[in-house]
């Protein structure tokens, strides 16, 4: 209402000014008529020469006044005309409806209003100068009476008031401020109505360049041009702060909504809360996909939009806007998750976790440099740099300590069933993963970076040499563990199983690294310990049956054989052979050696057997019992299942054991 009253006052001033101009015009016409009359008197009254001369001076004076008034009339008339235009523009700007439906016309109206105000003040200034000249001339020559001079002075005052009002309106006056406020409201409404969360594609494949580009176009071109036009107009009045705040609020909410469909509870959990290693690996896998989504899709689109909307402002305006949106979106929470893993207790699986994290960061390195390279993103840059440092240092430290970890496990006890120790299965599987194409290039890059930080030259073959060292420590452990068994037979089956395990590595990354000669040597050792086992166990029982002993009767020898068989069977019932083909081979050898000899002996001493059939095994029962050995815990090892026979609880037990070793170092 204040703006309306102000222009009503101006309208009254306009009417007064028009009346003054009309009077000035009449005065000019009167002066035009008075000049010739004085000239006529001059011709008729030549005898009044001294009196006529002042008359000629007045003639010149009237002409000068007429010229001053004529020069003042042009700017004054322009002021009157522009006041009418301003009145019409005012009605458009004060309209109750919001302009976002036709934002460009509204912005054009504001521009016309600003130009009209400038034109008004310029013409007021010009008219004032000429009218002040008229007043000075009239007062100095006594051409007009005081009443007329007073009216001219009143006109000057009106023009000065108009000039001051125009200058105030040009400096974000009340009317212009209201128009800018409408633009700010329209900016928020257009932005809010155009918001749409981005959809996450749960795919194992990385984002392609085309997918990332399409995802980075969050607003249609017409909407974008409206926002740009509003920002550029508000910038002329230094009124962009409100738009920037609204933009941050709306786009931050949109970014959060884009992530709301994802299950991000794992980001809040501490590393110690995961019960199983596979759970942790699953979370890191999810983290890698989500990290790629938020960087390549969500933040890339926000980065592009900030630059498009606020790029016409000073450079730090749009980058600061993006930095705040990035922080609000939750990028720091993703980085803290990686940091929590990097700062967790040392363990072999932590190395794999760190390599996975490094792989993600390396994949997104160019995106991070592009999005967060400015000074406004220092917080994100600093945390990312710290995360990379801890990942590289932590992974390198664990890798160099692996052989020593294996060595320190030498004091533990071997399996009571003669099978492959969990540690051996875990470490061979672990080495296979490190040598896999998914990990080896990353591990090599991490070690190369770490060596560079220490100003040391990276040597090719560093990874393979470390793997050799790990395998050597395993071999030494096996020799030490085999000597811990009280029974030679169980020691033999233990060595047979472990050599069989190493033989089964053929075709794996670790097997290929160690070579055929290494694999063949383990195959030979497997056969060697298999023969020792058979000779130490069933070979001795068979000898008691086939060798003649004059001091014992057939009945006593048969009873002794059955007792020895029964004792051996009970001992070996809980022993294990890890390879099915080896189990079948051992069954076949034992049956071929034992059953025919036992059958022959029973037939030879049939009379004895018939009288004590309740004491001796039949041939069929003997063969059945032999076929049940080594099957209770039988595990088939292949190149794809090495180490996978460990349950989650068993695997965690091995990792906890190694973690204790690492932490104690």
Place of tokens 């088939």: 636
Helix (H, G, I), strand (E, B) or coil at 371: helix
Three-state secondary structure string covering 237-270: CCCCHHHHHHHHHHHHHHHHHHHHCCCCHHHHCC
CA dist., res. 221 & res. 463, Å (int)? 53
3-state percent helix, strand, coil for the chain, nearest multiple of 5: 80, 0, 20
Q: Give the C-alpha distances (Å, rounded to integers) separating 613 from 49, 115, 559.
A: 181, 125, 11
C-alpha closest to that of 337 among 351, 318, 357, 322: 357
Can you read off the two tokens belonging to residue 352?
């794999």
For residue 645, the model assigns a pLDDT of 41
Helix (H, G, I), strand (E, B) or coil at 19: helix
Asked whether the beta carbons of 345 and 397 are under 8 A apart, the reply is no
Can you read off the two tokens belonging to residue 641?
């299942």
For residue 33, the model assigns a pLDDT of 43
Q: Give the C-alpha distances (Å, rounded to integers) separating 199 from 247, 330, 347, 363, 571.
A: 21, 17, 36, 21, 62
Which residues fall within 8 angstroms of residue 476, CB to CB, at 6 or more apart? Answer: 407, 410
For residue 168, the model assigns a pLDDT of 57
Residue 411 burial by Cβ neighbours in a 10 Å radius (0-12, 13-18, 19+): exposed
For residue 663, the model assigns a pLDDT of 43
CA dist., res. 308 & res. 94, Å (int)? 30
Q: Which helix H or strand E contains 466, and what residues bound it? A: helix 462-482
With the CA atoms of 163, 168, 169 and 170 taken in that order, what torsion angle do they form, in degrees rounded to the nearest 10? 90
CA dist., res. 660 & res. 411, Å (int)? 14
CA dist., res. 188 & res. 186, Å (int)? 5
C-alpha closest to that of 495 among 415, 593, 584: 415
For residue 272, the model assigns a pLDDT of 61
What angle (nearest 5°) sits at the alpha carbon of residue 297, between those of residues 292 and 302?
Answer: 130
With the CA atoms of 117, 123, 129 and 132 taken in that order, what torsion angle do they form, in degrees rounded to the nearest 10? -90
Length of the chain measured in residues: 665
For residue 53, the model assigns a pLDDT of 37
For residue 140, the model assigns a pLDDT of 63
CA dist., res. 299 & res. 251, Å (int)? 10
Report residues of the chain scoring pLDDT below 70: 1-89, 91-101, 119-153, 155-156, 158-173, 199-217, 270-278, 315, 547-552, 607-615, 631-665
Asked whether the beta carbons of 568 and 541 are under 8 A apart, the reply is yes
CA dist., res. 386 & res. 206, Å (int)? 25
Q: Which helix H or strand E contains 396, and what residues bound it? A: helix 378-408
CA dist., res. 231 & res. 241, Å (int)? 10
Domains and CATH numbers, the chain: 63-172 (1.20.58), 197-344 (1.20.1310)
CA dist., res. 425 & res. 437, Å (int)? 20
For residue 463, the model assigns a pLDDT of 94
CA dist., res. 330 & res. 293, Å (int)? 12
For residue 116, the model assigns a pLDDT of 72
Helix (H, G, I), strand (E, B) or coil at 638: coil
For residue 339, the model assigns a pLDDT of 94
For residue 457, the model assigns a pLDDT of 86
> For 291-314, b where at least 16 C-beta lie within 10 A, e where not — what string?
bbbbbbbbbbbbbbbbebbbeebe
Q: What is the DSSP string of 183-225?
A: HHHHHHHHHHHT--PPPP---SSPPPHHHHHHHT--S-HHHHH
For residue 48, the model assigns a pLDDT of 26
Asked whether the beta carbons of 419 and 497 are under 8 A apart, the reply is yes
Asked whether the beta carbons of 68 and 132 are under 8 A apart, the reply is no
> For 621-646, b where at least 16 C-beta lie within 10 A, e where not — what string?
ebbeebeebbeeeebebeeeebbebb
**Maximum Cα interatomic distance, the chain, rounded to a whole number of Å:** 193
């Amino acid at each position: 209402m204040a703006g309306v009253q102000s222009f009503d006052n101006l309208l009254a001033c306009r009417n007064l000014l028009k009346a003054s101009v009309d009077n000035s015009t009449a005065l000019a016409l009167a002066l035009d008529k008075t000049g010739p009359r004085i000239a006529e008197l001059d011709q008729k009254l030549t005898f009044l020469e001294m009196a006529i001369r002042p008359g000629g001076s007045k003639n010149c004076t009237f002409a000068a006044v007429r010229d001053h008034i004529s020069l003042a009339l042009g700017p004054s008339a322009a002021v009157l005309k522009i006041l009418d235009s301003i009145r019409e523009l005012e009605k458009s700007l004060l309209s109750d409806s919001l302009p976002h439906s036709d934002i460009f016309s509204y912005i054009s109206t504001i521009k016309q209003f600003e130009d009209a105000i400038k034109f008004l003040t310029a013409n007021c200034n010009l008219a004032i100068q000429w009218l002040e000249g008229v007043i000075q001339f009239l007062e100095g020559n006594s051409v007009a009476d005081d009443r007329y001079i007073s009216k001219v002075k009143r006109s000057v005052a009106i023009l000065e008031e108009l000039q001051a009002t125009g200058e105030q309106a040009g400096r974000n006056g009340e009317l212009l401020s209201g128009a800018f406020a409408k633009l700010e409201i329209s900016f928020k409404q257009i932005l809010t109505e155009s918001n749409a969360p981005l959809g996450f594609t749960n795919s194992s494949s990385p984002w392609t360049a085309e997918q990332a580009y399409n995802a980075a176009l969050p607003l249609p071109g017409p909407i974008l041009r409206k926002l740009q036009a509003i920002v550029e107009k508000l910038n002329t009045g230094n009124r962009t702060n409100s738009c920037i705040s609204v933009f941050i609020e709306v786009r931050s909410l949109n970014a959060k909504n884009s992530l709301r469909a994802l299950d991000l509870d794992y980001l809040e959990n501490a590393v110690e809360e995961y019960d199983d290693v596979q759970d942790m690996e699953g979370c890191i896998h999810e983290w890698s996909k989500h990290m790629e989504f938020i960087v390549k899709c969500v933040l890339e689109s926000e980065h592009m939009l900030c630059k498009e909307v606020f790029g016409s402002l000073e450079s730090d305006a749009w980058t600061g806007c993006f930095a705040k949106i990035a922080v609000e979106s939750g990028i720091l929470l993703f980085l803290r998750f990686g940091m929590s893993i990097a700062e967790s207790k040392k363990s072999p699986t932590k190395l794999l976790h760190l390599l996975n994290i490094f792989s993600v960061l390396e994949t997104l390195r160019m995106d991070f440099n592009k999005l967060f390279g400015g000074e406004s993103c220092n917080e994100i840059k600093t945390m990312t740099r710290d995360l990379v440092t801890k990942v590289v240092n932590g992974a390198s430290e664990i890798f160099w300590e692996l052989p020593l970890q294996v060595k320190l496990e030498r004091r533990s006890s071997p399996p009571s069933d003669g099978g492959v120790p969990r540690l051996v299965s875990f470490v061979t599987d672990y080495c296979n993963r490190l040598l896999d194409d998914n990990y080896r290039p990353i591990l090599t890059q991490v070690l190369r970076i770490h060596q560079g930080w220490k100003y040391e030259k990276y040597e090719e073959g560093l990874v393979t040499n470390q793997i050799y060292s790990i395998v050597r420590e395993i071999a030494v452990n096996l020799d030490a563990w085999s000597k811990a068994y009280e029974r030679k037979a169980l020691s033999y089956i233990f060595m047979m199983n472990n050599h069989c395990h190493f033989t089964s590595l053929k075709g794996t990354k670790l097997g290929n690294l160690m070579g055929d000669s290494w694999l063949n040597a383990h195959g030979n050792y497997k056969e060697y310990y298999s023969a020792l086992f058979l000779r130490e166990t069933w070979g001795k029982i068979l000898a008691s049956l086939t060798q003649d002993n004059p001091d014992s009767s057939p009945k006593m020898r048969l009873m002794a054989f059955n007792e020895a068989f029964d004792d051996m069977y009970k001992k070996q019932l809980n022993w294990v052979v890890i390879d099915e083909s080896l189990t079948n081979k051992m069954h076949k050898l034992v049956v071929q050696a034992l059953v025919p000899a036992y059958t022959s002996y029973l037939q030879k001493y049939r009379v004895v057997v018939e009288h004590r059939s309740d004491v001796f095994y039949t041939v069929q029962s003997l063969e059945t019992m032999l076929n049940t050995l080594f099957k209770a815990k039988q595990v088939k090892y292949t190149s794809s299942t090495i180490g996978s026979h460990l349950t989650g609880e068993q695997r965690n037990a091995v990792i906890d054991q190694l973690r204790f070793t690492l932490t104690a170092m």
